[in-house]
């Protein structure tokens, strides 16, 4: 086949980090150039869900698992309608996928969606570099995009930063839509889409919730127009410090005391709505085996993460906020980062990680049940 732009076999490619470190490999997926924030994910499975998670918009994902693409690409595991990562970095891509569900190779899929990648580089060395120096901007160049290294570095250094990026509107739905309850309908939830993953409304639908997914620009009036029993704020890309609009909508929901649940970006927005700050982590949490403790029960769960920012809230004291008392409900056992918040005087809570578990372990599924319980309490 000579018609594809796919660089699979021999086209050289170069990865340039903003601090001048350079890795040389081969093109993977589309040939061309791309820029983004270099981040690493430690998940050994679930690459299809990672690629299609809108929270990865503008990020170049480095896979620490050395062998990627083994199970090809299927038509069932997409978390949204397209791949969102801006670039993809792998050590040793599988050339022959093997799964009864596989429809095409990962290489073909990346090419078809115009996602520039690189393979054949030492992803372990790259990950150690990012862990020591922190997440930073990166460019991948192949084919006609390759120039001398100094010129490429200058272009990487001109690319936009993740800090200060306001990206939800670039990935969220522009039109509201409804995900019907599976079985008997028990509740209606308004879900503000800041970059929602497909599995999230599905997990709610499985519990008898009819989910009205609303654009990121939805107002408090839009939220209450669906007459919700509960309100949900989704995951999403970008810097939570820029999310002023969803913060003010959430404050409107907290004022009314409607049951509220947030995931990831939604947790950061709850943090801000309560008056806490957010900050950028050095290299973030991305993977599917992160240990988190639920401090309300003492139980430890193994969880899926994808976040580069975190909430700055005191771990060991109850905080007084404009919406009553709040506390840190969950904490990451690797580094003590805030992984969840709960209000003590209102029915509202959130987690920084991914209980929808796509991909990842299902330990945190109880959080959707907690949301249902809050809505039941509200009706009683």
Ligand X SMILES: NC(=O)CC[C@H](N)C(=O)O
CA angle, 271 then 277 then 282, to 5°: 105
291, exposed or middle or buried, with CB in 10 Å at 0-12, 13-18, 19+? Answer: middle
Indicate which single residue of 50, 71, 258, 306 sits in contact with ligand X (rule: CB under 6 A). Answer: 306
The runs of H, that is alpha helices, within 236-277 are: 244-256, 265-273
Provide the angle, in degrees to the nearest 10, between the axes of the packed helices 265-273 and 244-256: 70
**Catalytic-role residue among 37, 49, 327, 356:** 356
245 counts as catalytic: no
State in angstroms the smallest separation of the CB of 168 from ligand X: 9
If one asks whether residue 272 binds ligand X (CB under 6 A), the answer comes out as: no
Among 69, 198, 228, 238, binds ligand X (CB under 6 A): 238
Is there a binding annotation on residue 276? no
Q: Does 308 bind ligand X (CB under 6 A)?
A: yes
Residue 334 labeled ligand binder: no
Cα(180)–Cα(167) distance, rounded to whole angstroms? 27
Binding mask 189-228 for ligand X (x = CB under 6 A): ----------------------------------------
Residue 191's nearest CA partner among 257, 237, 258 is 258
Could you tell me which stretch among 22-30, 76-84, 133-141, 236-244 binds ligand X (CB under 6 A)? 236-244
Catalytic residue of the set 245, 264, 305, 339: 264
With contact defined as beta carbons under 8 Å apart, do 262 and 338 qualify?
no
Binding flag, residue 309, ligand X (CB under 6 A)? yes
Residue 121 interacts with ligand X (CB under 6 A): yes or no: no
A 10 A CB-CB count for 136 gives 18
Q: Is 236 in the site for ligand X (CB under 6 A)?
A: yes
In this structure, the dihedral spanned by the alpha carbons of residues 123, 126, 127 and 132, taken in order and rounded to 10 degrees, is: 160
Q: Is 236 annotated as a binding residue?
A: yes
55 binds ligand X (CB under 6 A): yes
Torsion 85-91-95-96 (CA) sign:
negative
- Catalytic residue check, 129: no
Q: What's the CA dihedral at 83, 84, 90, 92 to 10 degrees? A: 0
Q: How many residues bind ligand X (CB under 6 A)?
A: 11
Residue 356 designated active-site: yes
**Closest CB 279 distance from ligand X, rounded Å:** 10
Smallest separation (angstroms) from ligand X to the CB of 22: 26
The beta-strand segments (E) located in the chain are: 12-17, 22-29, 33-41, 59-63, 67-68, 87-89, 92-93, 116-119, 136-142, 177-179, 187-192, 209-214, 230-233, 260-263, 277-294, 300-312, 319-321, 324-332, 338-343, 348-351
Binding flag, residue 259, ligand X (CB under 6 A): no
> Toward ligand X, which CB reaches closer, 41 or 329?
41
Query: Interface with ligand X by CB under 6 A: which residues?
Result: 55, 235-238, 264-265, 306-309
Query: Can you say which residues are annotated as belonging to the binding site for L-glutamine?
Result: 55, 236, 238, 265, 268, 306, 308-309
Query: Can you say which residues are annotated as belonging to the binding site?
Result: 55, 236, 238, 265, 268, 306, 308-309
Q: Which residues are catalytic?
A: 264, 354, 356
């Amino acid at each position: 086949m000579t018609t594809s732009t796919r660089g699979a076999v021999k086209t050289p490619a170069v990865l340039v980090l903003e601090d001048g470190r350079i890795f040389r490999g081969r093109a993977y997926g589309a040939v061309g150039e791309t820029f983004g924030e270099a981040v690493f994910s430690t998940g050994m499975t679930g690459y299809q869900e990672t690629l299609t998670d809108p929270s990865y918009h503008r990020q170049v994902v480095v896979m620490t698992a050395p062998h990627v693409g083994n199970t090809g690409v299927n038509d069932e595991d997409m978390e949204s309608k397209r791949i969102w990562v801006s670039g993809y970095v792998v050590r040793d891509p599988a050339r022959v996928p093997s799964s009864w569900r596989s429809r095409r190779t990962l290489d073909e899929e990346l090419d078809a969606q115009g996602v520039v990648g690189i393979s054949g580089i030492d992803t372990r060395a790259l990950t150690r570099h990012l862990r020591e120096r922190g997440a930073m901007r990166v460019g991948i160049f192949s084919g006609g995009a390759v120039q001398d290294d100094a010129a490429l570095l200058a272009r990487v250094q001109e690319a936009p930063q993740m800090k200060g990026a306001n990206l939800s509107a670039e990935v969220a739905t522009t039109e509201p839509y409804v995900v019907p309850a599976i079985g008997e309908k028990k509740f209606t939830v308004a879900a503000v889409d800041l970059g929602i993953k497909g599995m999230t409304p599905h997990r709610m639908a499985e519990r008898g919730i009819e989910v009205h997914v609303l654009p990121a620009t939805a107002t408090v009036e839009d939220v209450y127009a669906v007459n919700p029993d509960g309100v949900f704020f989704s995951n999403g890309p970008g810097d939570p410090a820029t999310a002023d609009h969803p913060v003010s909508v959430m404050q409107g929901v907290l004022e009314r005391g409607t049951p509220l649940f947030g995931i990831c970006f939604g947790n950061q927005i709850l943090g801000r709505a309560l008056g806490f700050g957010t900050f950028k982590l050095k290299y973030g949490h991305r993977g599917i085996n992160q240990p988190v403790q639920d401090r309300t029960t003492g139980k430890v769960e193994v969880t899926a993460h994808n976040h580069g920012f975190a909430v700055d809230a005191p771990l060991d004291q109850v905080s007084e906020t404009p919406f009553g008392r709040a506390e840190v409900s969950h904490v990451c056992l690797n580094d003590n980062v805030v992984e969840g918040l709960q209000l003590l005087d209102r029915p509202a809570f959130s987690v920084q990680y991914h209980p929808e578990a796509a991909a990842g372990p299902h330990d945190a599924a109880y959080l959707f049940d907690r949301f249902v319980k809050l809505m039941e309490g509200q009706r009683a």
